[in-house]
Amino acid sequence: MPILKDFKFHSPGSLNAALALLEKARAPLLLAGGTFALNYLKKVSKYPTDVISLKKISSLKGIKAQGKGLWVGAMTAIYELIGSRAVCDAFPSVIEASSKLGTTPIRNMATIGGNIASRFYWVDLPAVLISLGASVTLATKKGKKTVALEKFLSVPPEKKYILTGIVLPKGNSLSFYFRHTKTAQETDVPSLGLAFSAVKKGRVISCARCIVNTTSSFPVALKKVEDVFNNFSSGDIRMDMIEKALLEDARATKLDDHRLHLLAVDLEKLLGILRQKCV
């Protein structure tokens, strides 16, 4: 007995052909690496009429400089992202999060576009990319547009679109990612993740962003903690100042005690790293 129910498979060679198929199909499903989408099909009764693979569209692949940032094609596999010198130099937190994503074969198959478009906010990359101020480029029958990733993930976009790439703005000279899992297995999905990014000029830190992947809600920003880090150059930041700010953020973000404890541990580590880098 077949594992998957019937659907029509398409493998267009261009973005326009894919958009035309997307428009025409009654219930389409876009296929990137397949690690989410094909698993999903094994568990649902509501089935797509058409599965459209994006694999043969070369314009969705590659990593290149774009304006003041880096454009990562949606069909770039996670292993390609990890192996990219350009990403490694400018966005170490993306490398950290990507190298903890799933297992080796999953990283060989999964794509960054599939990871984002699946809208699973509890995995590693969304919090990291939000902290970096990433945006996504989308193609629809009406044309192309760029949307902040934070907005893309929080407000469902129009139904028929193709995510073509992710734009990472350069300028955040500091980026870190800390994650925890419930077990000792690194391959588990995170139980908590903290993504930090900031601009560093000499001893001055600005534009600090602390985004927490709580895994139970959309990633949240630690606004008060960010304020403390933005005052890094004005004198010594002590851990008690960060803890106080974290408690204030906790009221707004409804983080539980366990996650708060893990965050405090991560923030202390972060403070130590920043002291080393800024002295």
Partner 1 sequence: MKKVNIEIDSKVQELEVRDSELLIETLRDRLGLMGTKYSCLEGDCGVCTVLIGGRNVLSCLILSADCDGEKITTIEGLAKNGEPHQLQKSFIEKGAIQCGFCTPGMILAAHSLLDKDPDPEDEEIARALDGNLCRCTGYVKIIDAVRDASQKINRSTKS
For residues 4 and 252, which CB has a smaller minimum distance to partner 1 in the complex?
Answer: 4
Kindly tell me which of 30 and 246 has the beta carbon lying closer to partner 1.
30
SS3 83: coil
Residue number, 7 or 122, with CB nearest to partner 1: 7
Our CB check for partner 1 shows the closer of 125 and 205 to be 125
Of residues 183 and 234, the one with the C-beta less far from partner 1: 183
Smallest separation, CB 34 to partner 1 (Å): 5
Q: What is the DSSP string of 190-257?
A: PSEEEEEEEEEETTEEEEEEEEEE-SSSS-EE-HHHHHHHHTGGGSPPPHHHHHHHHHHHHHHHT--H
Shortest reach from residue 256's CB to partner 1, in Å: 28
Min dist CB 9 to partner 1, Å, is 4
The answer to whether the Cα torsion of 155, 251, 273, 266 is positive or negative is negative
**Closest CB 175 distance from partner 1, rounded Å:** 23
19, 60 Cβ separation under 8 angstroms: no
- Least separation, in Å, of the C-beta of 236 and partner 1? 38
| Chain centre distance of CA 260 | 22
User: 163 has which bridge partners?
Assistant: 138
Q: How far is the CB of 249 from partner 1 (least distance, A)?
A: 34
Between residues 56 and 244, which has the closer beta carbon with respect to partner 1?
56
Q: Which is nearer to partner 1, 109 or 264 (CB)?
A: 109
Task: Output 7 or 71, the one with its CB closest to partner 1.
Answer: 7
Phi, then psi, of 170 in degrees rounded to 5: -80, 165
Q: How many CB atoms lie within 10 A of CB 268?
A: 12
Tokens of 243: 């803890």
Helix and strand tally (H, E) in the chain?
Answer: 12, 12
| Minimal distance, residue 176 CB to partner 1, in Å | 21
The least CB distance from residue 10 to partner 1, in Å, is 9
CB 130 within 8 A of CB 149: yes
Q: Measured between alpha carbons, how far is 80 from 110 in angstroms, rounded to an integer?
A: 10
Sign of the CA dihedral running 72, 74, 77, 79: positive
> Residues in the site for partner 1, rule: CB under 8 A?
2-9, 11, 31, 34-35, 38-39, 42, 51, 53, 55, 79, 102-106, 108-109, 186-187
CB 259, CB 217: distance < 8 Å: no
